[in-house]
Amino acid sequence: ACRSAGKTIGWFPLTAYSNGLGSQLIQGNYESGLTYGEIIKAADAGRIKALIVVEEDPLTALPDTSFVREALQKLDFLMVVDLFETETGKLAHLLVPSCSFMEKSGTFVNMEGRTRQVSQVLNPMGEARSVGRIFRDIADKMKLDANLEPGEIEKRVSGLLEEKGKGTAQEGFFSVSYQAMRMEENGHLFLIPVDIHYNHHYGTDEIFATSIEKLDKEPEFLVNPKDAARMGLEEGGEVTLQTDAGTLPVTPIFSGDVKEGHLIVKGHYHKTGVQALFPFELDKETKTPVTGFARVKLQKP
């Protein structure tokens, strides 16, 4: 419709992080490296010996917690840069404190593709430094030239934006195929995790905000009463969910709002523990872990 009207078709990317678009623009000028999931796979296979994790918590955000933990423990050196002491940080050989967006200056590309500047309003606490400063310090120790200030970075990124440069997008339509999750054929119910407040809400940062934690509810595992009766479940009684990836003890709540054959889990990943039940499988197109639902078995004590 837009093309027939002679209008230019643009795109409005939705990214999980504030500077996700900026990272994609810069990546377009360099040879692609490994994705998040591929890095974990490579660590498990011994192809990666050292890893720097920057303000991310793989043990909370990724599926198959046991596999991720074993992969990280195989590293000769694990450095974690974060504002908080995360589960991944507890495994680190070196934990380096970073600072929040209010404690540093810099730039980011918003979802409109425009470069915006962030001004520092607070002094960093203790030994905390910005991520950019941390990497510049590492580069200095390695005798590398990486002394880029926020203004210089802004100039480089701006040249890649449609509003100021030619951009990195290609003309045409690109289709992406869908890869369904592998599920156990003899499972009892479909397990579907549902966020309570917001989408993409794993709780990796929110667990450190006491005000949000007060509003957050305990995880709820909802099952249809007919399924419960068929399997001899008692409301309030404990059962164990099992997949090839792991097990999880839960207390089911009966709800007629849940479709038969389904088990709805309401809560964030860090509280429900459901990430331990999903296999660590990568989508063939995006090379990222496939999550969303799984078929689980129920075992009574």
For residue 211, the domain's CATH number is 2.40.40.20
Is 274 a member of any domain? yes
- Domain co-membership, 125 together with 213: no
Is 61 a member of any domain? yes
Between the CA of residue 196 and those of 202, 215, 216, 275, what are the distances in Å?
10, 10, 8, 16
Is 172 a member of any domain? no
- Give bridge partners of residue 117 from the DSSP assignment: 107
d(CA 233, CA 298): 10
Is 5 a member of any domain? no
Q: For residues 110 and 116, is the Cβ–Cβ distance under 8 A? A: yes
Between the CA of residue 267 and those of 189, 250, 280, what are the distances in Å?
18, 13, 21
Is 70 a member of any domain? yes
Domain total of the chain: 2
Is 183 a member of any domain? no
Q: What is the per-residue pLDDT for 283?
A: 82
134 token code pair: 């941390």
pTM score: 0.74
- Domain co-membership, 24 together with 145: yes
Q: What is the per-residue pLDDT for 185?
A: 55
Is 255 a member of any domain? yes
Q: What is the per-residue pLDDT for 191?
A: 80
- Domain co-membership, 145 together with 208: no
Which amino acid, one-letter code, is at 68?
A: V
The residue assigned the tokens 């008692």 is: 234
The vertex-286 CA angle with 38 and 200, nearest 5°, equals 95
Q: For residues 188 and 297, is the Cβ–Cβ distance under 8 A? A: yes
Domain with 203, as residue range(s), is: 189-299
> Parallel, antiparallel, or unpaired for β 106-109 and 252-254?
unpaired
- Domain co-membership, 209 together with 134: no
Q: Taking the chain (301 residues) in consecutive chunks of 10 residues, what is each chunk's mean pLDDT?
A: 57 65 63 88 97 92 90 98 93 96 83 78 93 89 74 63 50 58 60 59 59 66 90 87 85 90 75 77 82 79 75
Q: For residues 135 and 148, is the Cβ–Cβ distance under 8 A? A: no
The residue assigned the tokens 């990486």 is: 146
Is 82 a member of any domain? yes
